[in-house]
Amino acid sequence: MPSGVLITRPEPGAAETALRVAALGWRPVLAPALVLAPRPVRPPPAQALLLTSRAAARALSPWPIPVFAVGEATAEAARAQGFTDVRAAEGDAVALAALCAARLDPAAGPLLLAVGAGYSLDLAAALRRHGFRVTRRIAYAAVEATDLSVDAVLALRNREVAHALFFSPRSARCSLRALIASGLSEGLRGVEAIAISPRVAAVLDGLPWRSIRTARRPDQDHILELLGPP
């Protein structure tokens, strides 16, 4: 039976996921679909900082401001950066908007949303519907990888991959383009795709996977529980 698990998330998250995958007895195969590059952020006045990804948290230097993170993993990354007042939502943008609406007052000042270029427009709109003023700042840019890694191409051609992990709609779309461009789409018939959310699963629907499964909750722990034993 194949033992490889394709990991499509960008670094540094890919390496972290690889360690978790290896600890479960599987062989990680790195195939980052995006390359992240931090951008300097000069924080404007705000009552709270909102973070929707670990990449955004890692791109920022800490300052004394309450932080509302999309989930616990992002909250942990913010704390590791030196932020001290950090709260976590339940793992998606809807939950983060609800947490802000419950804990914050629109009259107390704007919210600072630090994101990747092109991300979290829906979240900003949802917060504005709750009456908040929202300031978006780009904390990092995510550039599509030029091609699949050599290890990923070889593992897929040799039918050594059992599962492929997908963590965002954009990285899933980029991965699919790379797989098709490399002529590997037919080789996916023996591969189970595992998506972090239904939105990601919908992106994956166009290729001939053995199956597509979706995590019960949108976080890494629930993605990895779907791997099962090797």
The enclosing H or E element of 14 equals: helix 13-23
Domain 4-33+146-224 has CATH 3.40.50.620: no
Predicted confidence at residue 30, as pLDDT, reads 97
Largest CA distance in the chain: 59
**Do 4-33+146-224 and 37-142 show the same overall fold?**
yes
Predicted confidence at residue 178, as pLDDT, reads 93
- Tracing tokens 């979290």 back to the chain, one arrives at 120
Q: Would you tell me the crossing angle of helices 121-129 and 93-103 to the nearest 10 degrees?
A: 30
Predicted confidence at residue 55, as pLDDT, reads 87
Compute and round to an integer the Cα radius of gyration of the chain.
Answer: 18
Predicted confidence at residue 206, as pLDDT, reads 83
Predicted confidence at residue 211, as pLDDT, reads 96
Q: In CATH, which of 3.50.50.60, 2.60.15.10, 3.40.50.10090, 3.30.230.10 is domain 37-142?
A: 3.40.50.10090
Assess contact for 48 and 111: CB atoms under 8 A.
yes
- Tracing tokens 């098709």 back to the chain, one arrives at 180
Burial of 72 (C-beta count, 10 Å sphere; 0-12/13-18/19+): middle
Predicted confidence at residue 189, as pLDDT, reads 93
Q: Which of 195, 193, 188 is nearest to 169 (CA)?
A: 195
Per-residue pLDDT of the chain (230 residues; tens, 9 = 90+): 789 999 999 988 899 999 999 999 999 999 999 998 888 888 899 999 999 988 899 989 999 999 999 999 899 999 999 999 999 998 888 899 999 999 999 999 999 999 887 666 788 899 999 999 999 999 988 888 888 999 999 999 999 999 999 998 989 999 999 999 999 998 899 999 999 999 999 999 989 999 999 999 888 899 999 998 98
DSSP state of 51: E
Predicted confidence at residue 38, as pLDDT, reads 85
Amino acid identity for residue 194 in this structure: I
Predicted confidence at residue 2, as pLDDT, reads 87
- Terminal alpha carbon distance of the chain: 8
Predicted confidence at residue 42, as pLDDT, reads 86
Where exactly are the structural domains of the chain? 4-33+146-224, 37-142
pTM of the model: 0.74
